């Protein structure tokens, strides 16, 4: 049995963070598919009792541990492996600051926007989509300006803050309606740098469940 197992599904940007971290650190791991859109396994009493009381993915299994919430998973893996770990108190706090910003203002809006625009049937209300898109544009503007000053989120090397922020950016542009390369050049260059890391893989190649049944 592989050392790590990850409960996940291909469409989850939150799960992609953890899957990408495992791949980049060269871990011995396997994905455990959660049928999120079909049977809704994550909402069952059995899943909540045995896997994650919050009824969510990702969940990392390592020996007797089960860890949920991608930020906690990234931190655990970085501390165990020594890879993508911010060095020093200032860098750790700065990484945490951007991971919280990501969860609230970047992927925190991009995930619902993409779901309502591309996955939900029927599609979300236009007013809701317009609101979310406005919030995303504002957050991406902040992020693009930040990357004008440096190659990575914190310091001169990639950290778990970078791996947190990439969660939804590698999904096809037509799924979430943003042409990053045309609009946010600094973000696009950063994404290319992360993509060049040994072990990088697309979310649809790392996790099971793509494509969704029609």
Give the pLDDT confidence of 34-68 residue by residue, as tens digits: 999 988 899 999 999 999 999 999 999 999 999 99
| Residues 140 and 68 grouped into a single domain | no
pLDDT at 176 over 90: no
Residues 95 and 53 in one domain: no
Residues 77 and 39 in one domain: yes
Residue 71 lies in a domain: yes
Q: Which is more confident, 2 or 38?
A: 2
The answer to the question of residue 203 being in a domain is no
> pLDDT band at residue 196, thresholds of 50, 70 and 90?
very high
Residue 30 phi/psi, 5-degree rounding, is -140, 145
Q: Looking at the whole model, is its pTM more than 0.75?
A: yes
Instruction: Enumerate the H helices of the chain as residue ranges.
Output: 13-24, 45-50, 70-81, 89-101, 107-114, 126-147, 160-165, 173-176, 180-183, 185-195, 203-206
Are 48 and 144 members of one domain? no
> What average pLDDT does this structure show over 71-90?
97
Q: How many helices (H) and strands (E) does the chain have?
A: 11, 4
The full length of the chain comes to 214
Q: Verify that 33 and 50 share a domain, yes or no.
A: yes
pLDDT at residue 214 is higher than 80: no
Q: State phi, psi for 33 to the nearest 5 degrees.
A: -70, 135
- CATH for 163: 1.20.1050.10
The conformation of residue 41, written as its DSSP 8-state character, comes to: G
| Tens digits of residue pLDDT in 81-100 | 999 999 999 999 999 999 99
């Amino acid at each position: 049995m592989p050392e790590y197992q990850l409960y996940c599904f291909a469409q989850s940007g939150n799960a992609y963070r953890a899957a990408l971290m495992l791949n980049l650190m060269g871990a011995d791991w396997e994905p455990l598919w959660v049928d999120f859109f079909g049977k809704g396994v994550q909402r069952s009493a059995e899943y909540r009792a045995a896997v994650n009381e919050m009824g969510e993915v990702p969940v990392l299994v390592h020996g007797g541990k089960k860890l949920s919430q991608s930020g906690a998973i990234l931190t655990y893996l970085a501390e165990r492996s020594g890879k993508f770990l911010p060095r020093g108190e200032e860098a750790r706090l700065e990484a945490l600051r951007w991971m919280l910003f990501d969860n609230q203002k970047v992927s925190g809006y991009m995930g619902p926007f993409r779901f309502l625009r591309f996955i939900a049937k029927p599609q979300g209300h236009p007013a809701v989509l317009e609101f979310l898109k406005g919030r995303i544009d504002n957050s991406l503007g902040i992020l693009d300006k930040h990357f004008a000053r440096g190659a990575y989120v914190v310091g001169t090397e990639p950290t778990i803050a970078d791996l947190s922020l990439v969660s939804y950016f590698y999904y096809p542009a037509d799924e979430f309606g943003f042409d990053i390369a045309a609009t946010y050049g600094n973000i696009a260059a950063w994404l290319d740098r992360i993509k060049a890391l040994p072990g990088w893989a697309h979310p649809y190649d790392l996790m099971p469940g793509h494509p969704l049944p029609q």
